[in-house]
Protein backbone atom coordinates (compact mmCIF):
# COMPACT_ATOMS: atom_id res chain seq x y z
CA UNK A 1 0.00 0.00 0.00
CA UNK A 2 1.25 3.51 -0.81
CA UNK A 3 2.26 5.50 2.26
CA UNK A 4 -0.26 8.32 2.82
CA UNK A 5 2.35 11.07 3.03
CA UNK A 6 5.08 12.29 0.71
CA UNK A 7 7.75 14.91 1.41
CA UNK A 8 8.34 17.97 -0.73
CA UNK A 9 11.72 16.60 -1.81
CA UNK A 10 10.22 13.25 -2.83
CA UNK A 11 7.51 14.96 -4.86
CA UNK A 12 10.06 17.22 -6.55
CA UNK A 13 12.08 14.13 -7.56
CA UNK A 14 8.96 12.50 -9.03
CA UNK A 15 7.70 15.46 -11.09
CA UNK A 16 10.14 15.16 -14.01
CA UNK A 17 8.86 11.65 -14.76
CA UNK A 18 5.44 13.11 -15.58
CA UNK A 19 3.49 10.24 -14.05
CA UNK A 20 2.14 12.02 -10.97
CA UNK A 21 -1.03 14.13 -10.88
CA UNK A 22 -0.66 16.95 -8.36
CA UNK A 23 -3.86 18.46 -6.97
CA UNK A 24 -3.79 21.95 -5.46
CA UNK A 25 -6.60 22.10 -2.93
CA UNK A 26 -5.96 25.46 -1.27
CA UNK A 27 -9.19 26.90 0.06
CA UNK A 28 -10.34 29.63 2.44
CA UNK A 29 -13.67 29.12 4.20
CA UNK A 30 -14.10 32.90 4.50
CA UNK A 31 -13.24 33.61 0.84
CA UNK A 32 -14.16 30.73 -1.44
CA UNK A 33 -12.31 32.20 -4.44
CA UNK A 34 -9.03 32.85 -2.66
CA UNK A 35 -7.50 29.42 -3.25
CA UNK A 36 -8.07 29.57 -7.00
CA UNK A 37 -6.57 33.07 -7.17
CA UNK A 38 -3.54 31.96 -5.22
CA UNK A 39 -3.19 28.95 -7.49
CA UNK A 40 -3.01 31.27 -10.50
CA UNK A 41 -0.34 33.33 -8.76
CA UNK A 42 1.88 30.34 -7.92
CA UNK A 43 1.62 26.58 -7.56
CA UNK A 44 3.62 23.36 -7.70
CA UNK A 45 4.57 22.92 -11.38
CA UNK A 46 1.77 21.15 -13.24
CA UNK A 47 -0.61 21.14 -10.28
CA UNK A 48 -4.31 21.12 -11.15
CA UNK A 49 -6.62 23.17 -8.97
CA UNK A 50 -9.51 21.35 -7.26
CA UNK A 51 -12.16 23.38 -5.47
CA UNK A 52 -13.48 22.15 -2.13
CA UNK A 53 -16.96 23.55 -2.80
CA UNK A 54 -17.31 22.79 -6.51
CA UNK A 55 -15.25 19.64 -7.08
CA UNK A 56 -14.99 17.84 -3.74
CA UNK A 57 -18.48 18.65 -2.43
CA UNK A 58 -22.02 19.12 -3.72
CA UNK A 59 -23.50 22.12 -1.94
CA UNK A 60 -26.93 21.46 -3.46
CA UNK A 61 -27.50 18.41 -1.26
CA UNK A 62 -29.57 19.25 1.82
CA UNK A 63 -29.28 17.90 5.35
CA UNK A 64 -25.79 16.50 4.83
CA UNK A 65 -23.72 19.26 6.38
CA UNK A 66 -21.87 22.25 4.99
CA UNK A 67 -19.75 20.17 2.60
CA UNK A 68 -21.97 17.31 1.41
CA UNK A 69 -20.13 14.61 -0.49
CA UNK A 70 -20.41 14.71 -4.28
CA UNK A 71 -22.29 11.86 -5.88
CA UNK A 72 -20.69 9.47 -8.36
CA UNK A 73 -21.44 11.64 -11.39
CA UNK A 74 -20.14 14.84 -9.87
CA UNK A 75 -16.94 13.26 -8.57
CA UNK A 76 -16.39 11.49 -11.90
CA UNK A 77 -16.70 14.83 -13.69
CA UNK A 78 -14.25 16.52 -11.32
CA UNK A 79 -11.67 13.75 -11.64
CA UNK A 80 -12.09 13.72 -15.42
CA UNK A 81 -11.45 17.47 -15.60
CA UNK A 82 -8.30 16.96 -13.53
CA UNK A 83 -7.04 14.32 -15.95
CA UNK A 84 -7.04 11.51 -13.41
CA UNK A 85 -7.20 7.89 -14.46
CA UNK A 86 -7.23 4.78 -12.25
CA UNK A 87 -3.77 3.81 -11.04
CA UNK A 88 -2.18 7.17 -11.78
CA UNK A 89 -0.28 8.43 -8.77
CA UNK A 90 -1.91 11.44 -7.08
CA UNK A 91 -0.44 13.90 -4.58
CA UNK A 92 -2.73 16.50 -3.02
CA UNK A 93 -1.72 19.59 -1.09
CA UNK A 94 -3.24 22.69 0.48
CA UNK A 95 -2.01 25.52 2.68
CA UNK A 96 -3.61 24.22 5.89
CA UNK A 97 -1.22 21.32 6.60
CA UNK A 98 -3.56 18.97 4.76
CA UNK A 99 -6.59 19.77 6.90
CA UNK A 100 -8.75 21.33 4.21
CA UNK A 101 -9.06 19.96 0.72
CA UNK A 102 -5.85 17.87 0.56
CA UNK A 103 -6.93 15.22 3.08
CA UNK A 104 -10.48 15.38 1.68
CA UNK A 105 -9.23 14.70 -1.87
CA UNK A 106 -7.05 11.85 -0.56
CA UNK A 107 -10.04 10.30 1.22
CA UNK A 108 -12.42 10.68 -1.73
CA UNK A 109 -9.97 8.93 -4.04
CA UNK A 110 -9.69 6.11 -1.52
CA UNK A 111 -13.50 5.88 -1.49
CA UNK A 112 -13.43 5.09 -5.22
CA UNK A 113 -10.77 2.41 -4.76
CA UNK A 114 -7.61 4.37 -5.54
CA UNK A 115 -4.65 3.44 -3.32
CA UNK A 116 -1.87 5.30 -5.13
CA UNK A 117 -2.73 8.65 -3.53
CA UNK A 118 -0.80 10.76 -1.03
CA UNK A 119 -0.86 14.11 0.78
CA UNK A 120 2.13 16.45 0.59
CA UNK A 121 3.46 16.57 4.15
CA UNK A 122 3.57 20.20 5.24
CA UNK A 123 1.67 21.30 2.14
CA UNK A 124 2.35 24.44 0.18
CA UNK A 125 4.43 26.00 2.95
CA UNK A 126 6.77 22.99 2.99
CA UNK A 127 7.22 23.28 -0.79
CA UNK A 128 8.12 26.95 -0.49
CA UNK A 129 10.35 26.40 2.54
CA UNK A 130 12.35 23.86 0.54
CA UNK A 131 13.00 26.50 -2.13
CA UNK A 132 11.44 24.35 -4.83
CA UNK A 133 10.26 25.81 -8.16
CA UNK A 134 6.76 27.15 -8.75
CA UNK A 135 4.79 28.23 -11.79
CA UNK A 136 1.85 30.57 -12.36
CA UNK A 137 -1.27 30.61 -14.49
CA UNK A 138 -4.08 28.12 -15.01
CA UNK A 139 -3.36 24.43 -15.64
CA UNK A 140 -5.71 22.74 -18.11
CA UNK A 141 -4.91 19.03 -18.40
CA UNK A 142 -6.38 16.78 -21.05
CA UNK A 143 -9.61 15.34 -19.58
CA UNK A 144 -9.71 11.62 -18.92
CA UNK A 145 -13.46 10.80 -19.04
CA UNK A 146 -13.50 8.41 -16.08
CA UNK A 147 -16.50 7.00 -14.24
CA UNK A 148 -16.08 6.21 -10.54
CA UNK A 149 -18.25 4.61 -7.88
CA UNK A 150 -18.06 5.74 -4.24
CA UNK A 151 -17.94 2.88 -1.73
CA UNK A 152 -20.80 3.79 0.61
CA UNK A 153 -19.68 1.17 3.14
CA UNK A 154 -16.42 3.07 3.67
CA UNK A 155 -18.26 5.95 5.35
CA UNK A 156 -20.81 6.31 8.12
CA UNK A 157 -24.28 7.87 7.88
CA UNK A 158 -26.77 9.05 10.46
CA UNK A 159 -28.57 5.76 11.01
CA UNK A 160 -25.46 3.67 11.61
CA UNK A 161 -23.85 6.30 13.83
CA UNK A 162 -26.92 6.69 16.03
CA UNK A 163 -27.38 2.92 16.28
CA UNK A 164 -23.77 2.32 17.26
CA UNK A 165 -23.69 5.21 19.72
CA UNK A 166 -26.74 3.71 21.41
CA UNK A 167 -25.02 0.31 21.51
CA UNK A 168 -21.80 1.89 22.81
CA UNK A 169 -19.69 0.02 20.25
CA UNK A 170 -18.11 2.95 18.43
CA UNK A 171 -15.49 5.59 19.26
CA UNK A 172 -16.52 8.90 17.69
CA UNK A 173 -13.54 11.27 17.38
CA UNK A 174 -14.19 14.96 16.69
CA UNK A 175 -11.34 16.84 14.97
CA UNK A 176 -12.49 20.38 15.81
CA UNK A 177 -10.59 22.68 18.16
CA UNK A 178 -11.41 22.10 21.81
CA UNK A 179 -13.40 25.35 22.42
CA UNK A 180 -15.73 24.47 19.54
CA UNK A 181 -16.09 20.90 20.74
CA UNK A 182 -17.00 22.12 24.23
CA UNK A 183 -19.50 24.60 22.78
CA UNK A 184 -17.75 27.65 24.22
CA UNK A 185 -17.49 29.27 20.78
CA UNK A 186 -19.04 28.46 17.41
CA UNK A 187 -17.90 30.74 14.59
CA UNK A 188 -19.48 28.78 11.73
CA UNK A 189 -22.43 26.57 12.65
CA UNK A 190 -25.71 27.69 14.24
CA UNK A 191 -25.31 25.49 17.32
CA UNK A 192 -22.21 24.84 19.43
CA UNK A 193 -21.23 21.66 21.24
CA UNK A 194 -20.71 18.06 20.18
CA UNK A 195 -22.42 14.75 19.59
CA UNK A 196 -23.05 13.07 22.96
CA UNK A 197 -20.44 10.38 23.50
CA UNK A 198 -17.84 11.87 21.15
CA UNK A 199 -14.26 12.50 22.25
CA UNK A 200 -12.07 15.36 21.07
CA UNK A 201 -8.84 15.00 19.09
CA UNK A 202 -8.09 18.35 17.40
CA UNK A 203 -6.45 17.70 14.03
CA UNK A 204 -3.65 20.11 14.95
CA UNK A 205 -2.45 17.52 17.48
CA UNK A 206 -1.32 15.40 14.51
CA UNK A 207 1.32 17.98 13.56
CA UNK A 208 4.72 19.00 14.83
CA UNK A 209 5.91 22.58 15.31
CA UNK A 210 6.77 22.82 11.60
CA UNK A 211 3.28 21.87 10.44
CA UNK A 212 4.32 18.39 9.34
CA UNK A 213 2.81 15.15 10.56
CA UNK A 214 4.40 13.68 13.67
CA UNK A 215 6.35 10.45 13.17
CA UNK A 216 4.20 7.37 12.71
CA UNK A 217 5.25 5.80 16.02
CA UNK A 218 4.38 8.96 17.96
CA UNK A 219 0.94 9.15 16.34
CA UNK A 220 0.39 5.46 16.94
CA UNK A 221 1.08 5.90 20.66
CA UNK A 222 -1.22 8.91 20.92
CA UNK A 223 -4.11 7.35 19.04
CA UNK A 224 -3.69 4.00 20.81
CA UNK A 225 -4.07 5.78 24.14
CA UNK A 226 -7.23 7.45 22.86
CA UNK A 227 -8.66 4.24 21.40
CA UNK A 228 -8.18 2.15 24.51
CA UNK A 229 -9.99 -1.14 23.92
CA UNK A 230 -11.52 0.03 20.63
CA UNK A 231 -10.17 -1.47 17.41
CA UNK A 232 -9.31 1.01 14.63
CA UNK A 233 -12.24 -0.29 12.58
CA UNK A 234 -14.60 0.83 15.36
CA UNK A 235 -13.41 4.44 15.10
CA UNK A 236 -15.50 7.08 13.30
CA UNK A 237 -14.12 10.55 12.61
CA UNK A 238 -16.07 13.79 12.40
CA UNK A 239 -15.48 17.54 12.46
CA UNK A 240 -17.54 20.58 11.46
CA UNK A 241 -18.37 19.54 7.89
CA UNK A 242 -16.52 16.30 7.12
CA UNK A 243 -13.32 17.91 5.85
CA UNK A 244 -10.80 18.12 8.71
CA UNK A 245 -12.10 14.76 9.95
CA UNK A 246 -10.14 13.27 7.06
CA UNK A 247 -6.94 14.61 8.67
CA UNK A 248 -7.43 12.38 11.72
CA UNK A 249 -8.19 9.40 9.49
CA UNK A 250 -5.04 10.11 7.49
CA UNK A 251 -3.01 10.37 10.72
CA UNK A 252 -4.29 6.98 11.87
CA UNK A 253 -3.45 5.42 8.51
CA UNK A 254 0.04 6.98 8.70
CA UNK A 255 0.35 5.44 12.17
CA UNK A 256 -0.55 1.98 10.86
CA UNK A 257 -3.98 2.01 12.52
CA UNK A 258 -6.09 1.01 9.54
CA UNK A 259 -9.81 0.83 8.94
CA UNK A 260 -11.39 3.86 10.62
CA UNK A 261 -14.12 5.76 8.78
CA UNK A 262 -15.64 9.24 8.49
CA UNK A 263 -19.11 10.48 9.45
CA UNK A 264 -19.34 12.72 6.41
CA UNK A 265 -22.18 15.09 7.47
CA UNK A 266 -20.31 15.76 10.72
CA UNK A 267 -21.44 18.42 13.18
CA UNK A 268 -23.15 20.71 10.66
CA UNK A 269 -25.17 17.75 9.42
CA UNK A 270 -25.92 16.43 12.90
CA UNK A 271 -27.51 19.71 13.99
CA UNK A 272 -29.59 20.00 10.80
CA UNK A 273 -32.23 17.99 12.70
CA UNK A 274 -33.16 19.78 15.96
CA UNK A 275 -34.29 16.45 17.41
CA UNK A 276 -30.72 15.17 17.59
CA UNK A 277 -29.13 15.69 21.02
CA UNK A 278 -26.31 18.13 21.69
CA UNK A 279 -23.72 17.94 24.47
CA UNK A 280 -21.54 20.74 25.81
CA UNK A 281 -18.51 20.89 28.02
- Give dist(CA 242, CA 53) in Å, integer: 12
Q: Please indicate whether residue 239 is annotated as part of the active site.
A: yes
Which residue among the candidates 21, 79, 177, 239 is catalytic per the annotation? 239
Task: Give how far Cα 267 sits from Cα of 42, 67, 100, 128, 238, Å.
Answer: 34, 11, 16, 34, 7
Terminal-to-terminal C-alpha distance of the chain: 40
Task: Give how far Cα 237 sits from Cα of 22, 138, 161, 242, 277, Å.
Answer: 26, 34, 11, 8, 18
- Give dist(CA 175, CA 201) in Å, integer: 5
- What ranges make up the beta strands (E) of 4-82? 5-6, 20-24, 48-49
User: Does residue 50 sit in helix, strand or coil?
Assistant: coil
User: Does residue 225 sit in helix, strand or coil?
Assistant: helix
Q: Which residues pair with 21 in a beta bridge?
A: 90
Inter-axis angle of helices 216-227 and 245-254, nearest 10 = 110
List active site positions.
Answer: 239
Amino acid sequence: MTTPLVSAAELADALPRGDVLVLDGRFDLADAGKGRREHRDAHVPGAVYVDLDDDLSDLSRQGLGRHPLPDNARLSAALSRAGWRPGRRVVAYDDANGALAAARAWWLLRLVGETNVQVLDGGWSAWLAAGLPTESGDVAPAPSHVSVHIDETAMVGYEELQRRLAANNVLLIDARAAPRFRGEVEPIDRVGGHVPGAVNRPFADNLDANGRFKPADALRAEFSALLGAHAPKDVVHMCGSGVTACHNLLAMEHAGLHGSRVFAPSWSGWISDPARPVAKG
